[in-house]
Amino acid sequence: MSFQNYIAGQNVAPAAGRSFVSTNPTTGKPYGTFAESGLADVDCAVRAAVEAGNGPWGKLSPTRRGRLMMAWGDKIAVNAEGIARMESEQNGKLVAEMRAQATVVKEWLYYFGGLADKIEGRVIPVERQSVLNYTLREPLGVVAVIVPWNSPTFLTIMSVAPALAAGNTIVIKPSEITSASAFELVRLAEEAGIPPGVLNVVTGGREAGEALVGHEQVAKISFTGSEGAGRAIAAQAGGRLASCTLELGGKSPNIVFGDATVENAVVGILSGIFAAAGQTCIAGSRAYVHSSIYEEVADRLAQRARAIKLGDPLLAETQMGPVATQAQLAKDEAMVQRALFEGAELLTGGNRVSVPGLEGGYFFQPTILHNVKSENYIMQEEVFGPVLSLTRFNDDDEVLALANGTRFGLAAGLWTRDIRRAHQMAKRLQAGTVWINTYRALAFNSPFGGYKNSGLGRVNGIESLDQFLQTKSVWCEMSEEIQDPFVIKV
């Protein structure tokens, strides 16, 4: 398969004629060829977005804009199976998970489509009674949406939906690992009636990303990805005073207190780290278990981890697919080896594995390290793979210090039947999301984002809409008599 950029409703070849090949991580074989974009390609896409904003999209009523977004959501849901297979073949995640994500994004487009005509200004009662002062809330302009590979459709819509509801136009740069589904999303948007140029796609690596972030007509950057890339984007955007929403890395703790329902906690820990092969920013990669139940929980986790079926993510019986890239596979292996060298103990897993019939795939065993000290490198750095670090604790203050003891603060989970403890800990945990007796729950109307180095701003909920708007204050003198500033009245 071969893909060009998609700009103003047309397939557009890259200006420099360059391309790159993406790989299917399940087989290790090529998936498709994509445009390697540069400054000229990005400029073309941004100009198309500007023109659409000044033209048909900007002239639509907010109500009509919202209805088109809802129609787009319906189109995506109908085509969820094809989108899911496309993404699973590129990132190795279970097709069931990709299908669920492609289906549920309809709810995001319905929610934000419904908010499009609820964006209101206000009249301000200023002291001068002859003056009418009111505010307008207006779109920023062109928004760059830079998307990671782990949940391409879901994370694209989380940024695009509030931006469109606010009246902005978009240039999407998908990850070079999973670029294909972005084209399908934009095609479906135009099929739903969204005008060409409102949504544009340019593919490529760092050069394309830097060109997009640095473009003078890009008013805002919405980025989901690594801490390092987020820092670089914020620095570049800050140089020209462009704003950013950044959803970055995590090292999320999953805390199990002695009074927890053990089976529920075990399921929560497993789903938090192995359901997506650890390839999610909210992965519960650190599990803290009270000493009174540590051995029982560790034993159950190890048994369940050893039983996880690895294989082709397109098959219903597969419970965990490969990691997305060969580089990630090498990283998983290296970080586990370093953790062991620094004193951690291996409970299960820890190695690459060859799956019969898929010998070229990037498979890594579900891995559990235990008795891991807080100073161990793996307790401080994001793995982004199927690796769980397990540690015991004795009291609430101790585990709170351990849980908060990283530079990240994206999410946290806790398991207890003591409701008072649950809410006290939720208040004290330094994380943008805290789950009590559950894990990996998100909703279109609940804000999501990080504390500390896990990001800036929020996606989802009304708060996210505000980040794609700017406020204008309008002053209107209602009196026919204007005071001359050079005449002093006594």
CB within 8 A of 468, min separation 6: which ones?
139, 140, 143, 162, 163, 165, 166, 168, 220
24 forms beta bridges with 29
Q: With CA atoms as reference, report the closest residue to 382 among 440, 331, 417, 451.
A: 331
Q: With CA atoms as reference, report the closest residue to 184 among 111, 51, 276, 84.
A: 84
For residue 340, what are its two tokens?
């062991």
Pairing of strands 433-436, 411-415: parallel
For residue 43, what are its two tokens?
């400029």
For residue 393, what are its two tokens?
């604790």
Alpha helix (H) residue ranges in 192-348? 206-214, 227-238, 262-273, 294-306, 326-341
Q: Which helix (H) or strand (E) holds 461?
A: helix 461-466
Cα–Cα dist 65/110, whole Å: 11
Contact 332, 369 (CB under 8 A): no
Contact 256, 392 (CB under 8 A): no
At which residue do the structure tokens 């490529």 appear? 204
For residue 57, what are its two tokens?
């999209």
Active site residues: 247, 281
For residue 430, what are its two tokens?
């330094």
Task: Measure Cα distances from 137 to 164, 445, 472 in Å.
Answer: 14, 20, 6
* Backbone phi, psi, residue 161, to 5°: -60, -55
CB within 8 A of 488, min separation 6: which ones?
none
Task: Measure Cα distances from 120 to 66, 111, 314, 461 in Å.
Answer: 15, 16, 46, 16
